[in-house]
Amino acid sequence: MSNTTAISKKDAFIANFMKRPKADLSSNHQSIREEALQALTILDLPTSRDEYWKYTRLTSITKQEYHHIEVKLDALQDEWKVEGLEANLMVFANGYYQPHLSNIIDQNVSILTLDQARIEAYDVVDKHFDQYVNAQNEIFTALNTAFNHTGVFVHVSKNEVVEHPIHIIDVVQGESALVVPRNLFVVDQSAKAQIIHSIVSNGGEKAFVNGVSEIVVGENASVEYQMIQTIGDTNQQIQTTQVTQANNSKFTTGAFTFNGQLVRNNLNILVEGTGCETHLNGVYLLDGKMHVDNHSVVDHLMPHCESNENYKGVITDKATGVFNGKVFVRPDAQKINAFQSNQNILLSDDATINSKPELEIYADDVKCSHGSTTGQLNQEGLFYLESRGVKPQEARKLMINAFADEALSEVGVDTLKEKLEVMIADRCQQF
């Protein structure tokens, strides 16, 4: 009886995605969808019995009925923009492209919708699309692969430097909206690009975003990818980001989560080249009954590489945070420097953090460390500030800002860093 119930729940959930089927013109791309669809017949929805999902229960997502809601935006709200930023702009609402709000200013880069790219940049898409994610073994990735409609395609050719950042704004709108975006970013040898990805909402009731992004960092290339999640208190998101790095490349990423009923970020980085740099940062600020789960994997396959990971959380009320970062150092990956840190501040007795940084090392000439700390605001520091005339609420805000600021150190776009500092300060005033 229980098996029948589980199957019916899974089928009912998958049926939401099938309400808006999509077929590709290319037989290769269509076969990828069909293979993912076939995988769904054997994949199960994860439960707390699965170690990878131990602290994240998906009932709030899987019990809901969803709809594909087409939206045309009249304008972008100011809080969705980055003030003072001149950028290549791509705007989507519920996964529907908004060309009247988008604007490409750099001509030495190919920035298209994925639908356009499947025709205009077929060779690049065919070479890289779905070559890095695990659609055969992970149900949400399989759902995205089978039912994605469009997203952003970026291709930076060899030796090109994209002068202005690429800013993607994904707007989520409407009650029980289902959004299934798919992005592919390919940065070739010795090229450079900065990408900002904002997932935002101005309302909506229990919408669900199931997104996947694939990022290819070529030899000696540099890519910065910063993600900002402000999806509202009732909306939910599962985001999978799959990265591959070639020799002497640099990849920098950040996940800045300000709200969301349930947010799960899966970040998987395959360091396939020698001499690579990898930087991972994140900040999550949670109140109410929010739940945010950051899962990261950095897999070092080759020697002479460095990875640094730093996630910071501030949690209050009955909110819950999860951090599980894992670094693999394979047998051939000698001379690796890998650092991993997760620090959290709990502002209430009911706030919870489940933190599990991990190292799995199969090489003997490495320098690796990891750590996790959880505590409250430093009372001596608060007393010091208050004794010099700073009001208690302002003192708390200053200390939280200082705590989170370290995770912004790798943000390379100054205007974005300034915006994040303001957003963190504004969010702290609500705690």
178-227: per-residue pLDDT in tens?
A: 999 999 999 999 999 999 999 999 876 799 999 999 999 999 999 999 99
Dihedral class, residue 325 (left if φ above 0, else alpha if ψ from -120 to 50, else beta): beta
Under DSSP, the state recorded for 322 is E
In which band, very low, low, confident or very high, does the pLDDT at 5 lie, cut at 50, 70 and 90? Answer: low
Q: What is the pLDDT at residue 7?
A: 55
Helix axes 392-405, 379-387, angle to 10 degrees: 130
pLDDT in tens, 18-64: 998 888 878 888 999 999 999 999 999 999 899 999 999 999 999 99
Distance (Å, rounded) from C-alpha 95 to C-alpha 71?
A: 9
The pTM for the full model equals 0.95
List the structure tokens of 204.
Answer: 């909506």
Q: What is the pLDDT of residues 152-166, one digit of tens each?
A: 999 999 999 999 999
pLDDT at 153: 98
**Concatenated DSSP letters of 376-419:** ---HHHHHHHHHTT--HHHHHHHHHHHHHHGGGTT---HHHHHH
Q: How many CB atoms lie within 10 A of CB 4?
A: 8
Confidence of residue 379 (pLDDT cuts 50, 70, 90): confident
83: number of Cβ within 10 Å: 11
Over residues 263-279, the mean pLDDT reads 98
Instruction: Tell whether the model's pLDDT for residue 399 goes beyond 90.
Output: no
Q: Look at strands 178-179 and 192-201 and give their pairing.
A: unpaired
For residues 108-128, average pLDDT: 96
Mean pLDDT of the chain: 93
297 and 328 Cβ atoms separated by less than 8 Å: yes
| Rounded mean pLDDT, 404-418 | 93
For position 2, what pLDDT does the model report? Answer: 45
Query: Mean pLDDT lowest for which of 76-85, 224-233, 311-320, 400-409?
Result: 400-409
pLDDT above 90: percentage of residues in the chain: 84
